Amino acid sequence: MIGVDPYHQGIMFKPAFDVAHGQMLFRDTFTGYGALSTLLQAWALRIFGDYLMVIQIETAFFYGLISVCLWYLWKCILPQWLTTTSVVIWLLLAPYFISIFLPWSSVYALFFQLFSLLLLLRAVREQNRLMIMLAGGVAVLAFWCRQPVGVFHCASLVFFLATAPLITGQQWKYSMTDCAFFIAGIVVASVPFFAWLALNGAIHDMYLQSIKAAFFFGVKLKMPFIEPGSHNLFVKILMTLYGYYNGQSVRLPGTSFIWSLLPLVCLSLLAILAVKVYRNRNSMNNQLPFYGILLVSLASWLQYYPLPCIRHSYWAATPMIGVFSYGAWKLFKPMQQKNMQALMVYLILAFVFGVDIEHRISSGLIKINTLNTRIEEPKVLRGMYESPPAAEEYKVISMSLNNAIERDFSHYLVDLSLDALYLTFIGPQNNFHPMYIYLLNDQTEFIYPEYLKHTIEFIKTKKPLILTHEGISIPGANCVSIFNVTDFLSQNRLALYSFFLK
């Protein structure tokens, strides 16, 4: 409940808010992520009310489910004491100690990644092909939460099934049949989503918002470490996965060396496993769960690209933490005394993760003591906590927007800032265009080339209230309010314009 981020929380809350009030996802309201994340959050809002804290709590619940999945998954390769320790380390490395807790689609996708792997490992162990099909259906739900995650995750599990005979020695034809059942599960689970979108005329907008927009962000976005069309783009992508390009760090504040160390450990352990299989495959059958976790970890690593920030690194590297613990445990396993082995493992874990954990605990204590004022207005933010000035400013913004809506002849608000959260302060309204905010770096025009023209025409015809940056002139409109809460990535304050009010 601590902290409000009008941009990041707004981009998740706004489409869920719209869908909860009867609008059609993609066709009527924008999301750059999969349909399932928004649907899960919209259902929660329908049940518990239009409050941001509802999807915050729902996301926390999914973090809880993830911790359970991690425990059972890592228990396949670790002793129980180290499994529990690894889960605690994962919890204490969370980015929301440092920054604001976000109800992000990656959290939901991570749950389906881990749960599908758990199902698949059990299905392979029991030779249950219906469960393999079920695992495929669960795995593709990661795609319907966050597309890039789902694509690579499903590919990693298909590769796992296809190459399992290298570990188990079973016949290849059985492996191909397992792959067929898994892919069938993917298809069966995806049909309801495509049918729902097609029947509601949202397929094309889904492609624009969730596929084309993701392509823009990953390849076309003009970052210093990516140059589309360059002959060494692959090298640049690889370097981005480690957070460096041309010797310069491109990581965002709050990241650490551990996010580069964890993939390297996974790659090293995969190489060691390959050598062991080559030398003596007959003794490797018990390594199948470890092989599956390794493949999923390396596929998840691709989430570092193109923005290796602390949040994406954390979500991507989650399964790698248990792999690192496994490497440390195996390193000291030859020791005779088990207590000494455990002590050495704990020392390694403390050395690698201790500084980051200490930083998160201290940052969390600062957050608790600083953001300690409960927000009462607007309604959608009730139950959230902010600093006293910010809590007061959100109340002022809410009152100003709602008073202006009542007095303005158009009774409609257009948001030309980056922060979609403010649109929910006035209650539900039908979007004049699926894009309810203007995205960064011309991404909006890349998705909808007609957006700017459509927006200008709507403003000329309907003369709505306009929320935008202070200092931007709106011809024919008067500035009626100035707000001190700054826009995302901008030092400009926000301003409310009306064609009718002065």
pLDDT in tens, 215-270: 777 665 544 444 444 445 555 555 556 555 444 555 555 567 899 899 999 999 99
Range 158-185 average pLDDT: 92
**Does the model's pTM come out above 0.85?**
yes
- CB burial of 150-172 (b: ≥16 within 10 Å; e: otherwise) equals bbbbbebbbebbeebbbbbeeee
pLDDT score for 238:
57
pLDDT at 333 over 90: no
pLDDT score for 153:
97
CA distance 164 to 171: 10
pLDDT score for 168:
82
List CB contacts of 225: < 8 A, sequence separation 6 or more.
Answer: 236, 239, 240, 245, 246, 248, 250, 306
Q: Which of 437, 498, 493, 501 is nearest to 466 (CA)?
A: 498
pLDDT in tens, 173-215: 999 999 999 999 999 999 999 999 999 999 999 999 999 888 7
Find the largest Cα–Cα distance for the chain.
82
pLDDT score for 224:
44
Task: Write out the E strands in 192-257.
Answer: 244-245, 248-249
pLDDT score for 169:
80
Residue 252 — φ and ψ, nearest 5°?
A: -85, 160
CA distance 500 to 51: 31
How wide is the angle at C-alpha 410 spanned by C-alphas 407 and 413, nearest 5°?
A: 90
pLDDT in tens, 76-95: 999 999 999 999 999 999 99
Range 380-384 average pLDDT: 96
Q: HSE of 128 in the Cβ direction (CA atoms, 13 Å)?
A: 12
Give the least confident one: 8-12, 110-114, 339-343: 339-343
Both tokens of 77, joined, read 């390769």
Q: Above pLDDT 70, what percent of the chain?
A: 90
